[in-house]
Amino acid sequence: MSTSPKLTPEKELASFGYKQELDRSLGVWELTAFGLNYMIPIAPAIIFGFILKSSGGSVALPYLLALFGMSFTALSYAILLHQFPIAGSLYSYVSRSISKRVGFVAGWVLLLDYLLIPTVTAMSASIYLHQLIPSVPYVAALVFFTFGTGCFNLFGIHLMAKLGLWLLLIGEIVIFVGFVVWGYAVHGGLGVGHLFSAEPFKFSGISALATSTSIAVMSYLGFDAITTLSEEAKNPKLDIPRAIFFSVVIGGITMFLTGYIAMLTLPHWQQFQNNDAWLNTTLFYVAKITGGRWFEIFYTSGFLLAMLVFNVVATAAGSRILFGMGRDRVLPHSIFGAINKKWKTPHWNILLIVIFQFLLGLTFTVASIAELVNYGALLGFILLNIAVIWLFYIKRQSREHYLKHLFSPLCGVIVLTWVFLSMQTVTLVVGTIWLTIGFITAYFNPHCIK
């Protein structure tokens, strides 16, 4: 379904059978900040050690490959957003491009990531805080990072967006200072001893590189999160594609540089690869050896602040996907489709996500969840790229724009499938169990009509 560009966002939403319920107040820079805060360019601090170990020596290269694969998918998102400027992201786009059943499955697998990623960040932040201040118990920190930041979402998207702009600036300052300190330390003789080296690009094999790339993909979910705010953007067709482009480019470059410069300080990382504490907080140790105690405190404080913002943003994005599915009644409408009249937020979704994060954070390790995170993202992104081809070449039988509607999404499918099949066996098994539950639910759900 293609709609007239002359329609206002509210009237365009009505043409899809929905009414404006969320607060439409976000511009391009607030959307970009939302995406970057979700992408958190400081994200390598969470999974740096896991990427390093799984690749056999490189963090920069997996991030670069993930950026390459995500670029095709980002373009597909922009294309489908222009066709369907509504909340629900991947679920909404695949539902309207292919079918509701396939759309439900796409939304279902992506939910796995929107539930698990903020859990990983809350756990990681709690571990970092405990490392910095041992007197703060892990459980107490976990309560703060889940309930405290998650419940902030209840008070509206506008307040969160304004705060996000300032906190993003602070986070970028922390990252820039980190680059300077690490580079100065390396130039002074630490690590490899010089700033230009092939050391950060070494890996143990193609399979290991693909596995580590599948983990690095987690850090690029920010551009998908932007599309969940389609009904809260002032001009979704124009501003969201721009915000996607800015967040992917800025986030990708920042994470690549983090992986490159930090690895210059760790030429003998193999001696720590079986140390879980070191893997969980690798950049904590990098900060400590490059800048001493003062920089350790500075960098960790910046990281914790970034995690606070991320959990707010991640909960907002996940709650909007649940809202899109609840509004269409593929999930119980009274819970998932409900909107708080005062704050205009999907309050039950927010509370459910917060509780889910806390319980998982008490039960599992960061490593076990981090490995599972990208099953849903990669499979969902593959379905999204297929949706572009299906919409224009099968459903509409259009033969125009081969580059955008065929070649680019096909490249996305190929790259992402290669990375997807390279994930560890246990990840594929557990993820497929989740996928099977989604298939069964979609089959028996009367609202998931073809």
Mean pLDDT score, 439-449: 81
d(CA 298, CA 113): 29
In sequence order, the 6+-apart residues with CB closer than 8 A to the CB of 377 are 110, 113, 217, 218, 221, 224
d(CA 162, CA 359): 30
d(CA 77, CA 128): 34
Residue 1 confidence (pLDDT): 45
Q: List helix spans (H) across 330-365.
A: 333-336, 347-363
Residue 297 lies in a domain: yes
Residue 326 confidence (pLDDT): 87
Residue 2 confidence (pLDDT): 46
The answer on pLDDT for 6 being more than 70 is no
Residue 165 lies in a domain: yes
Mean pLDDT score, 246-271: 90
Residue 284 confidence (pLDDT): 83
The answer on pLDDT for 245 being more than 80 is yes
The answer on pLDDT for 431 being more than 80 is yes
The answer on pLDDT for 421 being more than 70 is yes
Mean pLDDT score, 381-393: 93
Q: What is the pLDDT of residues 175-201, one digit of tens each?
A: 888 899 999 999 888 888 888 999 999
Is-contact 163 238, C-beta < 8 A? Answer: no
233: which strand partners? Answer: 26
Residue 103 burial by CB count (10 A; 0-12/13-18/19+): exposed, middle or buried? buried
Residue 203 confidence (pLDDT): 92
The answer on pLDDT for 42 being more than 70 is no
Q: How far is CA 364 from CA 6, 8, 144, 371, in A?
A: 50, 46, 18, 12
Residue 43 confidence (pLDDT): 67
Mean pLDDT score, 260-283: 88
The more confidently predicted of residues 429 and 21 is 429
The overall average pLDDT reported for the chain is 84
d(CA 215, CA 255): 13
Mean pLDDT score, 272-296: 87
Residue 186 confidence (pLDDT): 92
Q: What is the pLDDT of residues 127-167, one digit of tens each?
A: 888 888 889 899 999 998 888 777 776 665 555 666 666 77
Strands (E), 113-199: none
User: Domain span at residue 266?
Assistant: 22-444
Residue 200 confidence (pLDDT): 92
Residue 41 confidence (pLDDT): 63
When mean pLDDT is compared across 199-213, 298-312, 434-448, the lowest value belongs to: 298-312
Residue 299 confidence (pLDDT): 85
Helical (H) or strand (E) element with 427? helix 425-444
Residue 163 confidence (pLDDT): 65
When mean pLDDT is compared across 113-122, 309-318, 355-364, the lowest value belongs to: 309-318
The conformation of residue 26, written as its DSSP 8-state character, comes to B
Tell me the two tokens of residue 94: 């695949």
Mean pLDDT score, 238-260: 90
Residue 4 lies in a domain: no
d(CA 205, CA 22): 48
Is-contact 63 277, C-beta < 8 A? Answer: no
d(CA 23, CA 343): 9
From 230, 249, 206, select the one nearest 92 (Cα to Cα): 230
The more confidently predicted of residues 6 and 333 is 333
Is-contact 91 337, C-beta < 8 A? Answer: no
Q: What is the CATH number of the domain that holds 386?
A: 1.20.1740.10
Q: How far is CA 432 from CA 105, 206, 356, 420, 439, in A?
A: 12, 24, 20, 12, 10
The answer on pLDDT for 282 being more than 60 is yes
- Please report which confidence band the pLDDT of residue 51 belongs to, taking 50, 70 and 90 as the band edges: very high
The answer on pLDDT for 4 being more than 60 is no
Residue 144 confidence (pLDDT): 87
Question: Domain tally for the chain?
Answer: 1
Where b means 16+ CB within 10 Å and e means fewer, 70-81 reads bbbbbbbbbbbb
Residue 97 confidence (pLDDT): 92
In sequence order, the 6+-apart residues with CB closer than 8 A to the CB of 230 are 81, 85, 86, 87, 89, 236, 240
Region label for 397, one of left (φ > 0), alpha (ψ between -120 and 50) or beta (otherwise): left
Q: What is the pLDDT of residues 402-411, one digit of tens each?
A: 888 899 999 9
Strands (E), 188-282: none
Residue 161 confidence (pLDDT): 62
The answer on pLDDT for 231 being more than 60 is yes
